[in-house]
Chain A
Amino acid sequence: MLVVHVKKRQIVLPGEVLAEGGKFKSGEGTFREGEKVLAAVIGLAEIKENNIVVVVPLEGIYIPRPGDTVIGKIVNVKLSSWDVDILAPYLATLNLMNVPGKPVDPIKTDLRQIFDIGDLIVAKVLAFDRTQPPVLTMKEKDLRKLEGGRLVKMASTKIPRLIGRRGSMINMIKKETKCQIIIGQNGLVWVSGSSLESEELVVKAIRQIEREAHTSGLTDRIRELISQRT
Chain B
Amino acid sequence: MDLSSKYSQGDLLRDGVRIDGRGVRELRPIKLEVGVLSRADGSAYIEQGNNKILVAVYGPRELHPKHLARPDTAILQCFYRMATFSVEERKNPAPSRRELELSKVIKGALAPAIFLRNFPRSTIDVYIQVLQADGGTRCASITAASLALADAGVPMRDLVTACAVGKVNGQLVLDPNDIEDKLGEADMPVAIMPRKRFITLLQMDGRMNKEEFIEAYKMAIEGCMEIYKLQRQALMERYMAVRKEFEEEGGGEDA
Residues of A within 8 A of B (CB): 8-11, 13-15, 29, 31, 38, 40-42, 44, 56-61, 63, 89-91, 130-131, 157, 159-161, 163-167, 214-216
Query: Chain A interface: which of B83-91, B148-156, B163-171?
Result: B148-156
Report the minimal beta-carbon distance from B245 to chain A, rounded to whole angstroms.
4
Q: Contact mask B233-255 → A, CB, 8 Å, 1/0?
A: 00110011111011111011111
Q: Name which residue of chain B comes closest to A159, CB basis.
A: B255
Question: B254 to A165, Cβ gap below 8 A?
Answer: yes
Contact between A58 and B242, CB atoms less than 8 A apart: yes
Inter-subunit contact A9/B251 (CB<8 Å): yes
The answer to whether B242 and A90 touch across the interface, beta carbons within 8 angstroms, is: no
Q: Which residues of A contact B41 (CB under 8 A)?
A: 59-61
Instruction: Supply 6 A–B pairs (Cβ within 8 Å), ascending by A.
Output: A15-B195, A31-B155, A44-B243, A59-B42, A59-B152, A61-B153
Question: In chain B, residues 13-65, which have Cβ atoms closer than 8 Å to a Cβ of chain A?
Answer: 41-42, 59-62
**Which residues in chain B, 135-184, are within 8 Å of chain A measured between CB atoms?**
150-159
Q: Is the CB of B60 within 8 A of A61?
A: yes
The answer to whether A41 and B154 have CB atoms under 8 Å apart is: yes
What is the count of residue pairs linking A and B with beta-carbon distances less than 8 angstroms?
115
Indicate if B232 sits at the interface (CB-CB under 8 A). Answer: yes
- Chain A residue numbers with a CB within 8 Å of B236 are 11, 13
Q: Is B193 an interface residue (CB 8 A)?
A: yes
In the complex, per-residue mask of B112-127: 1 if CB is within 8 Å of any chain A CB, else 0 = 0101001111100000
Chain B, Cβ-Cβ closest to A42: B150
Docked-complex contact B255 and A59, CB < 8 angstroms:
no
Q: Is the CB of B232 within 8 A of A9?
A: no
Q: Is the pair A164, B158 in contact by a Cβ cutoff of 8 Å?
A: no
Taking a contact as CB atoms closer than 8 A, the residue among A8, A29, A91, A130 that contacts B120 in the complex is A130
Give the Cβ gap from A210 to chain B, nearest Cβ, in Å: 12
- Cα A165 to Cα B249 in complex, Å, equals 11
Roughly how many angstroms separate A14 CA and B194 CA in the complex, as a whole number? 11
Contact A160 B255 (CB under 8 A): yes
Which residues of chain B are near A131, meaning CB under 8 Å? 120
- B255: contacting residue among A38, A44, A165, CB under 8 A: A165
Q: A160-B254, A216-B248 are in contact. List 6 more A-B contacts (CB 8 A).
A: A13-B150, A31-B155, A61-B60, A89-B59, A130-B119, A160-B253
Q: What's the least CB distance linking B254 to chain A, in Å?
A: 7
| Chain B: interface size category | 35 or more
- Which residues from chain B contact A41 at a C-beta distance below 8 Å? 150, 153-156
On chain A, the residues within 8 Å of B42 by CB distance are 59
Task: Output the nearest chain A residue to B158 by Cβ-Cβ distance.
Answer: A15
Asked if A90 and B62 make an inter-chain contact with CB atoms under 8 angstroms apart, the answer reads yes
List of B residues within 8 angstroms of A89 by Cβ: 59-62, 74, 119, 121-122
A134 to chain B, nearest CB (A): 12
Contact across chains for A61 and B246 when beta carbons are under 8 A apart: no
Q: A89-B62, A91-B62, A130-B120 are in contact. Are A14 and B255 (CB under 8 A)?
A: no
Q: A100 to B232, alpha carbons, bound, how many Å?
A: 50
CB distance from A88 to the nearest CB of B (A): 9
Complex CA gap A195/B75 in Å reads 47
A59 to B193 alpha-carbon distance, docked (Å): 21
Contact between B255 and A164, CB atoms less than 8 A apart: yes
Closest Cβ–Cβ distance, residue A58 to chain B (whole Å):
6
B122 touches A90 (CB 8 A): yes
Please indicate which of the listed interface residues A15, A38, A41 has the most CB atoms of chain B within 10 Å of its own CB: A15
Q: What's the least CB distance linking A89 to chain B, in Å? A: 4
Which chain B residue lies CB-closest to A30? B155
Report how far A56 CA is from B235 CA in the complex, Å.
16
Chain B residues near A216: list those with CB within 8 A: 245, 248-249, 252
Of B153, B193, B240, B245, which one neighbours A57 at CB under 8 angstroms?
B153
Task: Please name all residues of chain A whose beta carbon is closer than 8 Å to the beta carbon of B242 when the two chains form the complex.
Answer: 11, 58, 214
Is B239 touching A11 in the complex (CB atoms < 8 A)?
Answer: yes
Please give, as numbers and ranges, the residues of chain B lying within 8 Å of A8 by CB-CB distance: 251
Tell me, rounded to whole Å, the shortest Cβ–Cβ distance linking A212 to chain B. 9
Contact, CB under 8 Å: B246 / A40: no
Of the candidates A9, A90, A165, the one whose C-beta lies within 8 Å of that of B246 is A9
**Residues of A close to B60: CB separation below 8 A:** 61, 89
B255 CB, nearest partner CB in chain A, Å: 4
Q: Which 8 pairs of residues, A with B, have the shortest CB-CB distance?
A: A60-B153, A15-B158, A59-B153, A40-B155, A89-B122, A163-B255, A14-B156, A160-B255
